Amino acid sequence: MTVGNANKFNIKSIAVIGAGPSGIASLHELTRVTKSGESLFGLDDVSKYEKNGELAFDKVVAFERNSTVGGVWCKSAFAENNVDPNLPKIYQKTSDELDKLDFSNPTETYQKTPIDEELEKKLDSSSFEKPVSIPVNKKLETIINNQWRSSAAYNHLFTNVTNRYMIFSFNDIVGQELDDLNHKYEHLLNLQSARDVSDYLEKTAEKKDLKKYIRFNTNVERVKKLDNGKWEVIVSYESKNENGEKFINWYKEYFDAVIIGNGKTVPIIPKIKNLFKFAEVNKDKVIIKLAKSIQDTEFLRNAKKPLFIGSSVSSVDLIQYCYPRDLENPSIYISRRSPTSPHNWITFATYSKGIVNKPEIAEFLPETNSVKFIDGTVESDFDAIVICTGYHKYYPFLDQSFTEKHKEEAINFYKYTFSIGDPTLALVGNEYAGFFFNRVESQAAALAGVWNNTSFLPPKEEQIETNKNRPSLSSGLINPNFITPLIDLAPKGRPHPFVINKEKSDHVAHSAQGHFVIQDVFFKVRDGKLDPFKIV
């Protein structure tokens, strides 16, 4: 470990997992810092510095499992391109067997691609140029199809964060261009569609020439810290031969540091008695989906009696597509664990007229198409059930040896970014809070500064103490408690995203305005004044 002024990092190669907003921000910052610690912030073309050997890091590679950038906004993986299962499947397991498993545990929900002893040996001589190819059988195909590789964005989805903060400071949209975007949709002032965000991320990667650092359609299978200080990264990608037969190709590569930038992709599925049996018995009567696997919301408009499990933002987003309907005879049901939401407007929406709130589900009753709740009440004849219970903070690729060695410090991240156990492992993103794009660029900038020895981390003891007393990340405190402390670690000349754009000095008010807009949209949709399928 190399922490503090006395010990410097010697990092020349960095692996970035994911090419969504976190990965794009990481690529930008890591490829725009010189050996002398100067930021090349905002430059579109750094080839001159690259050619002259002036950049701080020799090799930066991002592994993206989809075919385009974007993460949750990845257009090649959302809507009609979403291939995630409605519920988890395990090869040759029946619904009764699945009901015995605990899918609230991410190790059950995410199925790792197996690396057996024979493959392990072959991988020792593998490389990017010489991968190891394994035929894909039905069992392996089932595993791959249950790794939650698609995006949770669906047709007609729009953002709930104002446009100013869905933009990086290194590729800002200002003036008339921002005004045009803010007024693109009549009923969605200052907000945009999922496809707009996807387009912006694509254009950013193109403009900043970041795609040359990305290996698409490549899944990170294992990340392991070796005794020699290197990180061993094992990845895989699929291919077909001339006969259409599928293969999975493996190789390993070594890096000095690793950034986890792939966000939350593994859904939390509550363990509810008879869920899988209910789905099997009522497959012709009830559409059951995870929020993660929805392609299009048309089925909600057609549902006569939908049930939403969970009362989060994603539930309210989806409930909008159930309208219009008779509010005097409520037919939308929510099963909720908590009586309130962290966001007032979500609480207002979920308790509004036309919605029936129920407690947690005790069990599904397959033979009568019924649901029993923990208060003893029973409701029958739901024709659509959507599970909206959030996502795990889970890193399936992180080898167990690392967590065993560093215990709770392994994935305890100082300033939400540097692993206290080993600061050559970093996290960018993956934290629920506002101003996401500007937060992740501040994290990436801090990594560029610290890993290039322009800035330094405090001793481990101080990091641990700081994390014990983490301040709030409510909208008004994200800048002083998150963004500014990280920008203080950035390379020389790297500006603060809220300082370079003076309009963002009013970020708290902008955040509140966004909430007012989406609350207004929800009630207009509920009251039949606005068609949810024509908002974007």
pLDDT in tens, 207-243: 999 999 999 999 999 999 999 999 999 999 999 999 9
Confidence of residue 473 (pLDDT cuts 50, 70, 90): confident
Range in 63-77, 202-216, 329-343, 383-397 with the lowest mean pLDDT: 329-343
What is the per-residue pLDDT for 141?
Answer: 96
Whether the pLDDT of residue 5 is over 80: the answer is: no
Rounded to two decimals, the pTM is 0.96
Whether the pLDDT of residue 158 is over 80: the answer is: yes
Mean pLDDT of 183-190: 97
What is the per-residue pLDDT for 50?
Answer: 97
Mean pLDDT of 322-339: 96
Nearest-CA neighbor of 473 among 463, 489, 485? 485
Whether the pLDDT of residue 186 is over 60: the answer is: yes
pLDDT in tens, 481-495: 999 999 999 999 999
Q: What CATH number should be reported for the domain whose range is 1-82+112-145+151-265+392-528?
A: 3.50.50.60
Degrees (nearest 5) of the Cα angle 356, 360, 361? 100
Query: One fold for both 1-82+112-145+151-265+392-528 and 275-390?
Result: yes
Confidence of residue 1 (pLDDT cuts 50, 70, 90): very low
DSSP class of 492: B
CB-count exposure of residue 440 (10 Å: 0-12, 13-18, 19+): buried
What is the per-residue pLDDT for 412?
Answer: 95
Mean pLDDT of 370-399: 98
Q: Around 90, how many Cα atoms within 13 Å sit in the side-chain half-sphere?
A: 18
pLDDT in tens, 288-313: 999 999 999 999 999 999 999 999 99
SS3 55: strand
Q: Please report which helix (H) or strand (E) contains residue 302, including its range.
A: helix 298-302
CB-count exposure of residue 353 (10 Å: 0-12, 13-18, 19+): exposed
Q: Which CATH class is domain 275-390?
A: alpha beta
Whether the pLDDT of residue 7 is over 70: the answer is: no
Q: Helices 21-30 & 194-207, crossing angle to 10 degrees?
A: 20
Domain locations along the chain: 1-82+112-145+151-265+392-528, 275-390
